[in-house]
Structure 1
């Protein structure tokens, strides 16, 4: 059994290298590196030698032993951290950005690609599966309201059999027809309609079987403070209350 795929993945994580950066370092294609890590393909001897020499690892260790993090960091195995401490970890949410969107459409079902996506760290339920999406268009904007570029939405994964359980009008992130859409969700007996807030954008009608992924939006983060009519009303009420107090004082 060769540990090559597992070891190079661990090396990347320790050295904080993405698949793309690691592949370019050794003149490989990203897909080729992914195949090595997933043990779907065996590397050429020249590639093994280059990687072993670059990281000062013997070929024998690279191929036949599962490398430890301590070894990769040049630490001795007996220098383990003494004692214990309370460490809080937030849920890490892979986020789709304009730079990664094209690759996501192609590699959305590849675990190692998902691992390389930028992460959002939030104190939310770690047992659920989430996906973040950085908005880059005006499809969900109307008269400079609602969602704008640079806003971030986070969706919870929805299984195909649960598509029809989503309430009409809910916000969703959908991978369908080779594109990613952030829209409002509506469904009938056999059709799902994805509707933009921008009235200049046509509805997209799809069959549930055409959808590769769907995420029901549960958290939103705005780059700017959205307009809030309640705040304006509260400010006006405070002003009126202050004026009323002044009048009372004048009549005393």
Structure 2
């Protein structure tokens, strides 16, 4: 029987250096001596204690299985960020969600554009590298680093006051539970024709549901279970060729009052 290679030692050193923390500081957090940590990192301890595995796993939020079986330095940046966000296949018991992206010649992430004609196929190809590679790609200066962005054009009147055809620049969201109430987002649902919707999202932790509210107050809000959502992209900015139309003050005040009441109901639940 061929023995499986164990990556714990190299992974421990890699994670510490990735977090930019010294051996002294990490040893203190793990409640071990620096000499023991150094021995663990350099493979000088042939049989680490179970408590050592547990301490490292809990600190870095990565399962023991991944620490032992996965060569972490060989993973891509997005994969690593998924793991660090808690999306570990061994912790979650489900398939690890890896976002398909493209990069330029300098190995920098592109900002893919999802044109209207490609929206129908996005639900089927959103995680297909070939489909993503077929989308138009751009570089937008001054976007935050180490984040993934995509551009989605708006359609229909449910997104008013944004005129139809406005390009929404949105950031890929890994931790859905971190959303603040009423955050504007592009959301991809399993149902609803696999459409891309632009809504104000509020996470309802107790029910594990999301409240979706349209920017156009004529559309009634509704809730969907979290498991019905495929992707969430948080609004960053928008681009349009049209000048914004003035909105009656009473409509603005009505929308604000509705959102305030919604937040009060969430606090009471």
**What's the TM-score once normalised by structure 2's chain length?**
0.47
Structure with the bigger percentage of strand? 1
When Rg is computed on C-alpha atoms for both structures, the one with the higher figure is: 1
